[in-house]
Amino acid sequence: MKVGLLFPGQGSQFVGMGKDFYDSNDKAKEMFEVASDAIKTDFKKLMFEENEEINKTEYTQPAILLYSAIAYELFKNADFDYAFSLGHSLGEFSALYSAGAIDLADAIKLVHERGKLMNAAFRDKVGSMMVVLGLDDETIENICKESGLKVWPANYNSDGQLVLAGLREDLEKLEPVLKEKGAKRVMLLNMSVASHCPLLESASAPLRDLLDEYLKDEFKSVVSNVSAKAYNTKKEALELLPVQLTKPVLYKQSIKNYENDADIFVELGGKVLMGINRKITKKKTLPVTDMASLEKVINTLEG
């Protein structure tokens, strides 16, 4: 079976993520140690115990990446053919790890620094993101353009589900306008950083420098959030990943572009994309979140 590997992004974190892997597998324990050493943080405490750090961007990102990386390492020995890796937002960095573009320690350092750069861009302003349900893309795009507000489309998740990013006060102003135009639901998210919009421009150049330091020259195919097309070289990554901060995530476009290249999708370290995929494709998406689901997915592929 040809498998498209999927990796969730920020917002999928929860206390207890990865604990079943850690308790059951020496490889998982080893990867926790590598991550902890990389940024001098106790990842067991970060991911298994109630704490405030798990929801801080600079720690959320490495925690999610570690969870997905462990799921991938335990899954990769299954009998399947690799089609491509596709991550949603932060998940693109997990996808790069799975594709052999970056070592685990460097990936942890990279997304930790990415989180800090994103926070720094919002030191003097308050950003946020907002989910809009029930309107077509063009209608929302036109509303954003005509509003004159600092608000942009950020995540094209599925038909009828688009996430906006921008200044919190501007998103709040846009909420009644979207409802008047027929949105079924408009929900402001509890975030202070607006991802995938021009407000993160200041983080792009420093991120490129980090990517240049950490990425390998060639790797397996990864589908870009920016272009919805696959790439497999450092040169391409250095063009795409810095602007990924300021450009929208073309998730549904990516699935539609590559669904025929895979017989099945496997989401590593979450179930969020499985839910979104039901609205995009008829291809099945199976999640790997613990040892039981790992065994179930492997049995499905090998059966």
pLDDT of residue 181: 96
Tell me: do 234 and 109 sit in the same domain: yes
CATH number of the CATH domain containing 19 = 3.40.366.10
Angle at 222 between CA 217 and CA 227, to 5 degrees: 105
Tell me: do 18 and 107 sit in the same domain: yes
Beta strands in 1-126 (DSSP E): 2-7, 81-87
Catalytic status, residue 196: yes
Tell me: do 106 and 214 sit in the same domain: yes
The DSSP secondary-structure symbol of 278 reads: T
Tell me: do 17 and 112 sit in the same domain: yes
pLDDT of residue 191: 83
Structural domain ending residue among the three candidates 165, 188, 211: 188
Rounded Cα distance between 269 and 286, Å, is 11
193 found inside a domain = no
Mapped onto helix, strand or coil, the DSSP state of residue 167 is strand
- Write out the residue range of the structural domain in which residue 29 sits: 2-121+198-302
Catalytic status, residue 68: no
pTM confidence score? 0.96
CATH number of the CATH domain containing 149 = 3.30.70.250
Tell me: do 44 and 100 sit in the same domain: yes
pLDDT of residue 55: 87
What percent of the chain shows pLDDT beyond 70?
100
Task: Exactly one of 12, 85, 89, 128 is catalytic; name it.
Answer: 89
Q: Cβ(85)–Cβ(261) under 8 Å? A: no
Is it the case that residue 234 has pLDDT exceeding 80? yes
Tell me: do 132 and 250 sit in the same domain: no
Q: What is the pLDDT of residues 175-198, one digit of tens each?
A: 999 999 999 999 999 888 999 999
Q: What is the pLDDT of residues 60-117, one digit of tens each?
A: 999 999 999 999 999 998 889 999 999 999 999 999 999 999 999 999 999 999 999 9
Beta strands in 75-145 (DSSP E): 81-87, 127-133
For residue 68, which of 287, 295, 298 has the smallest C-alpha distance?
287
Q: What is the pLDDT of residues 240-266, one digit of tens each?
A: 999 999 999 999 999 999 999 999 999
For residue 269, which of 62, 78, 112, 129 has the smallest C-alpha distance?
62
Look up residue 272 and give its two tokens: 């969020």
How many independent structural domains does the chain possess? 2
Task: Exactly one of 12, 68, 98, 196 is catalytic; name it.
Answer: 196
Look up residue 261 and give its two tokens: 């290249």
